[in-house]
Amino acid sequence: MRDNSPRLSPPVHLTGPDGPWTDAVREGMARRGNASVFTTWGEWLTMALSEPALRGLLGRDWTRYRRTSDPTTRYRFVVSRLAVRHTAAAALGIAPDRIDLSYKPGGRPYLRGMDQIDVSLTHTDDLIVVAVSRTGRIGVDTEPAGRRLAFQLLQDQVCTEAERAELAALPETEQTAGILRLWTLKEAYTKALGQGLRMNFSEFGFGGRHSGETGLLAPDGTPAARGEWSFGTYPVLGRYLVSIACHDTGLDPSRDTAVATMLDEGFVSMVTAELQDSNSA
């Protein structure tokens, strides 16, 4: 894959809860059907420590937050969930406290009652990345750009035969960068599928920067999809790589994901009332 897909919205840096979330997320959703944002733990410090306001924002995550005894773990948990809620709320055109965040087996987040968008979360060190899509499944992964993955040790577990051959012909520094890029792309793709590390990374591949092929590839290097998947890898904050995988089902009839226009008004009122009752319980 020589270039990032033009169908992907590049990640946007949003500095904490003040955003501007709506502008950044809604533009990406309107133009390309997807959006991704990144932020850092420190940019949420004030909100994360404002416990009286957190209960309404965290919803069903409030219990887990209260049961987490380690202060650092609690802080990182609450910030990551706030970032997901702000991103999803901007995509849907509603307030963050109206997002009902739940989890599938394995921990993948989803939005109860608002399945017009898919959501993915990843974090490492001080970085948090959230991606949303209205066209199909989306996955995101990040790693420190300086992480050294040894090609000789990991090639059989991470690379297809075609990828191993291409990377083996490169200098060592390019091998390290290449296998890190492949690792994050494959993580993003398998997260989008809901499989994560349960999938064998050597059974699917991507074209390298010196390859003539792009997109998802079979182990022998031939195309394995018909363009329904979009992939990209982006440098972030000068010290991270962020990879995104996004599927287009071809069934998206609307560029509008706002709850007020996508859902029946009576149903929206009913869901809102139920969320308010559950948050006050």
For 243-280, write each residue's pLDDT tens digit: 999 999 887 555 555 554 444 444 444 444 554 555 55
DSSP letter for each residue of 88-108: HHHHHTS-GGG--EEE-TTS-
The two three-digit tokens of residue 273, written as one number: 């009332």
Lowest mean pLDDT among 68-72, 222-226, 232-236: 222-226
**Domains of the chain with CATH codes:** 12-142+249-275 (3.90.470.20), 145-230 (3.90.470)
| Averaged pLDDT score across all residues of the chain | 86
Which pLDDT score, from 0 to 100, does residue 225 have?
A: 79
Q: Which residue has the higher pLDDT, 277 or 199?
A: 199
Rounded Cα–Cα distance for residues 28 and 86 (Å): 15
Percent residues over pLDDT 70 in the chain: 85
Which pLDDT score, from 0 to 100, does residue 267 have?
A: 41
The single-letter DSSP state of residue 18 is T
The two three-digit tokens of residue 46, written as one number: 């004030």
Which pLDDT score, from 0 to 100, does residue 116 have?
A: 85
Pairing of strands 127-133, 138-144: unpaired
Lowest mean pLDDT among 147-161, 207-221, 239-253: 207-221
Q: Which residue has the higher pLDDT, 232 or 19?
A: 232
Which pLDDT score, from 0 to 100, does residue 223 have?
A: 86
Pairing of strands 138-144, 205-206: unpaired
Average pLDDT on 22-33 reads: 94
Give pLDDT tens digits for 30-61. 999 999 999 999 999 888 887 778 888 999 99
Answer yes or no: is pLDDT of 202 > 80: yes
First-residue to last-residue Cα distance in the chain: 51
Rounded Cα–Cα distance for residues 74 and 257 (Å): 31
Lowest mean pLDDT among 48-52, 127-131, 207-211, 244-248: 207-211
Tell whether omega for the bond before 219 is within 30 degrees of 0, i.e. cis.
no
Range ranked top by mean pLDDT from 134-138, 173-177, 206-210: 134-138
Question: Residue 197: which pLDDT band, with cuts at 50, 70 and 90?
Answer: low
Which pLDDT score, from 0 to 100, does residue 238 have?
A: 95
